[in-house]
Chains A and B, each alone.
Chain A
Amino acid sequence: MRLIRSHRFAALLLSLLAVMTPAALADARPGLKAGMFNPAYMAPDFSLPGSGGSDVTLAHYRGKIVLLTFGFTNCAAVCPTTLATLAQARHGLGKAADAVQVVYVTVDPARDSAARMREYLAAFDPTFVGATGSESALASVRQKYGVTAVKHGSGRDYVMAHTSSIFLIDRAGKLRALMPFGHDAADFVHDIRLLAQ
């Protein structure tokens, strides 16, 4: 009798645990990996001398997804990582990469000439476009995007502390999202595919 009771007890306990032990399914929330703006407004446009010889405007790339980022070619860590990630993302997109344009706006016009930017960007991806200009014109663009750039040090080896996020602008020219620094290429591929839909 005691054996039967203990079996009943065990069976009941097991069935309780079976009901209460969850299949811990991951919470699959849809959406971008980047931070999203709601509502999305038109990305502030600009016209700056480009690394390709002609002026760079966002309007020129309407119909493409623009990945806009700010930096300087003497940047030791953040910019090389960002640009390498974006190049990898374009590679990962395959044919769809034709509809993606990376625009890299300098925060250090004193050192970043159009020629210097062309040479620097070509090492990552020859399709990347750089934009430079006067200090005041670049400061105006930064202000429109809430980007900060602060000079540290003096002489030839100064560095620029700058906003490291990447702005995602859709085909219609709307600023849809902002990807903080540190995301990998797969996240960009994911978001670009979503924005392209």
Chain B
Amino acid sequence: MRAGLGKFLQSVADNKWHWLAALVLFAVIGGFGWAALAPIKVASHDQLFTIPHGTWARRMAGEKIEILPHTIRLTLGLNDVLLLKNADAVPHVFGPTLIMPGQSFSLPFAQASTYSFMCTAHANGQLNVIVDPAPAPGPERLRWRLAELTDTVWGLTRAEWHSHRGAS
């Protein structure tokens, strides 16, 4: 038994570079496999839009304020709940409904499609919500994760650059 173990350890030592290469290969394949297949979990599904306090007063003063874009793009499984918050002191027609001061309205979407709502907050009277399907397992999900990773790294790099610039 002891001899067998010793032989095994010896063979590992003899071929350590092979093992290392194999482990790196496994890690890379495993990483890509995970990125392509693992379900996407997000902390929140909410896509938040807030009417800031004072919006009504600013509008009354003649200021043109666009809070909601004409077209909102959501993705199933990621940000598929449109969350509208009214932080102003008066009711607002916001997207598909009237929202009272301090109230929020969360609208979940379960099907990929294009939704149109009458919305008096927009000049053309319409709000479009385009809901895209969730990134499918495989290349699509892998691409999404790589894009997320790139965005995160790019964001961190920019933040670092700005902090250095601010310090100097």
Contact = CB atoms under 8 A, between A and B. Distances in A.
Interface of A: 9, 12-13, 16-17, 20-22, 24-25, 27, 29, 31-39, 41, 144-146, 148, 150, 161-165, 178, 180, 182
B37 A178 contact: no
Contacts of B22: 9, 12
B33 to A, nearest CB: 5
B137 A24 contact: yes
B116 to A, nearest CB: 9
Per DSSP, chain B at the interface is: mixed
B54 interface: no
Nearest to B117: A180
Contacts, number: 83
B37 A21 contact: yes
Contacts of A163: 96, 118
23 contacts: A12-B26, A13-B26, A13-B29, A16-B30, A17-B30, A20-B33, A22-B39, A24-B39, A24-B137, A29-B108, A31-B108, A33-B110, A35-B96, A38-B104, A144-B98, A145-B98, A146-B120, A148-B125, A162-B118, A164-B118, A165-B96, A180-B96, A180-B117
B71 interface: no
